[in-house]
Amino acid sequence: MNIDDIFANFVSIDRAFAIIVYYWPMKPISAVYRDRIMQMMGKARLDTVVTEQNVYQQANKNVLPYIDGILDELILPGSGVDGAEHLRDLLTKAKEGHSCLLLVEHYSNFDLPALSYLIRKELPDGEELADAIVAIAGLKLNESNPVVTAFTEAYTRIVIYPSRSLQGLDPEKDRAEIIRSNAINRAAMKALNEVKVSGKLILVFPAGTRFRPWDPASKRGVREIDSYIKSFEYFCPVAINGEVLRIQQGDMAEDLVTQDVVRITVGPVTSCTEFREQARAEAEAAGVEDKKQATVDKIMDLLEKMHQEAEARRPKAAE
Query: Which residue from 46, 57, 17 is spatially nearest to 34, judged by alpha carbons?
Result: 17
CB 256 within 8 A of CB 151: no
pLDDT at 296: 94
Are the C-beta atoms of 260 and 114 separated by less than 8 Å? no
> Is 255 in contact with 248 (CB distance < 8 Å)?
yes
How many whole angstroms separate alpha carbon 274 and alpha carbon 63?
40
What is the full DSSP assignment across the chain?
A: --HHHHTTTSPP--HHHHT-GGGSPPEEHHHHTHHHHHHHHTT-----S--TTSSEE---TTTHHHHHHHHHHHBPTT-EEE-HHHHHHHHHHHHTT--EEEEE--S-TTHHHHHHHHHHHH-TTHHHHHHTEEEEEETHHHHS-HHHHHHHTTS-EEEE--HHHHTT--TTTTHHHHHHHHHHHHHHHHHHHHHTTTT-EEEE-TTSS--BTTBGGGGSPPTTHHHHHHH-SEEEEEEEE--SEE--SS-GGGPEE--B--EEEEPPPEEHHHHHHHHHHHHHHTT-S-HHHHHHHHHHHHHHHHHHHHHHHSPPTT-
> Parallel, antiparallel, or unpaired: how do β-strands 133-138 and 157-160 relate?
parallel
Q: Please give the residue that has the higher pLDDT: either 76 or 170.
A: 76
Predicted local distance difference test score (pLDDT) of residue 141: 83
- In the predicted model, what is the mean pLDDT of residues 285-289? 95
pLDDT in tens, 197-220: 999 999 999 986 665 554 555 567
Instruction: Indicate the CATH number of 23-313 among 3.40.1130.10, 3.40.50.11720, 3.40.50.300, 3.40.190.170.
Output: 3.40.1130.10
pTM: 0.88
- Report the first-to-last Cα separation within the chain, whole angstroms: 44
* Domain map (residue ranges) of the chain: 23-313
- pLDDT tens sequence across 42-94: 999 988 899 999 999 999 999 999 999 999 999 999 999 999 999 999 999 99
245 in Cβ contact with 108 (< 8 Å): yes
Band the pLDDT of 6: cuts 50, 70, 90: very low
What pLDDT shows up at residue 318? 61
* Cβ-proximal residues to 126 (8 Å cutoff; 6+ apart), any chain: 119, 120
Residues 6+ apart with CB under 8 A from 302: 237, 267
Cross-strand partners of 158: 56, 136
